[in-house]
Amino acid sequence: MLFTGLLLAGCGGGGPVDVQTADAVPLRLDRDDPGKLLGSVLGAYLGPDGGDPVEAGLLSGDGDALVLHPQRLPEAARAALADANGDGAIDWEELAAMLEATYVDARDLPPTLDALRQQADYRAGEPEWFTVEVDGVMTAARRRIHVPLAALREAMRAFADGGTLDYPAGTWIVGEHAVDGDVVETTVKHRRPDGYWDFAVYGPDGALAPATQTEPRSLRVPTQCTGCHLGQRLFEPEKSFPAEAGDGPFGPRAIYVPDAWRSREATALFDEHRRRDDGVLGLYATLYAGRLLADREAGTLGDDDRRLLEALGL
């Protein structure tokens, strides 16, 4: 998708580098699949639709020989970037400091939950939104996750056609974190036209926040979001599904759906959590397909749903 045609641009070295004036600075990230990671985080600085950092001249090189061209960054982002340890390169900690200081403003996301709901009325429920509740590893709070049903069905049709579960550009996925029934923070993903996701957190006051606040630990935007969503580590309770997962150190690990939705056939078909070809950690296509299979068994399946299952080979 992105990061095609990379050209080796060379790398500097020998002493500290002034990022504010340098044309090219080596990156030493020590991260798995740095091309995908940089496509996500640096693409965020290329305008509302995102973009390919290589095509934009912001990045060159390949493999472990990646070079950043800081003069192509917006001024605010460049001002927040520094070779803090003076080793002549930008490492992940230095890049992360810039991202955490400037990413939210660069993306121009809705500043409040009220503004977000003007674009995505995620509490509207069915038939516009598919909602599932989960206790997982991200937070000890109960997560109520809302996925637009039209986007979910489009992703499933894309899977039927090409074997890849891709949500359309513009998709919002919203997770409300509840403690004792009260929503204390909200996490958001928004799919950009360049194929990556923007991330956001809204705090208890409904305003954009730099990180989550619920136990067991704070997770910062976007650096710790991309670490999980673009990584390969498996998490409970998705890892064990369709079986039940055991409790974790901070409470239950569970997906709260009817047993009839726990389809081994749908789980095997999508292999959703392990493949992660859409950058989404949840099992939303798996769960929705399981619901449709249960409806078919009950004799209540509509014609459109029947055709979707047939296209999927279920």
Out of 85, 107, 129, pick the residue that ends a domain.
107
Angstrom distance (rounded) from CA 45 to CA 99: 10
pLDDT at 295: 98
Please state whether the peptide bond connecting residue 110 to the residue before it is cis, i.e. omega within 30 degrees of 0: no
Residue by residue, pLDDT tens for the chain (314 residues) are: 333 333 333 344 558 999 999 999 999 998 888 989 999 999 999 999 999 999 999 999 887 789 999 999 999 999 999 999 999 999 999 999 999 999 999 999 999 999 999 999 999 999 999 999 999 999 999 999 999 999 999 999 999 999 999 999 999 999 999 999 999 999 999 999 999 999 999 999 999 999 999 999 999 999 999 988 988 899 999 999 999 999 999 889 999 999 999 999 999 999 999 999 889 999 999 999 999 999 999 999 999 999 999 999 99
Same domain, 96 and 118: no
**Whether residue 137 sits in one domain with residue 92:** no
Whether 271 maps to a domain, the answer reads: yes
Whether residue 229 is contained in a domain is answered as: yes
Examine residue 42 and state whether it is found in any structural domain, yes or no.
yes
Note whether 261 and 287 are same-domain residues: yes
Range of the domain at 208: 113-312
The set of residues, in sequence order, having a beta carbon less than 8 Å from that of 128 and lying 6+ positions away, is 121, 148, 149, 150
pLDDT of residue 105: 93
Q: Is residue 136 part of a domain?
A: yes
Per DSSP, helices labelled H in 120-248 are 149-162, 223-229
- Look at residue 6 in the predicted model and tell me its pLDDT: 34
**The pLDDT value given to residue 278:** 87
> Where does a domain end: 107, 140, 160?
107
Q: Do residues 165 and 300 share a domain?
A: yes
- How much is the pLDDT for 14? 59
The answer to whether residue 226 sits within a structural domain is yes
Check residue 216 and give its pLDDT: 92
222 and 90 fall within a common domain = no
- Do 120 and 187 lie in one domain? The reply is yes
In our burial notation (b when 16+ CB lie closer than 10 A, e otherwise), range 61-75 reads: bbeeebbbbbebbee
Same domain, 187 and 291: yes
Domain count, the chain: 2
Residues 38 and 167 in one domain: no
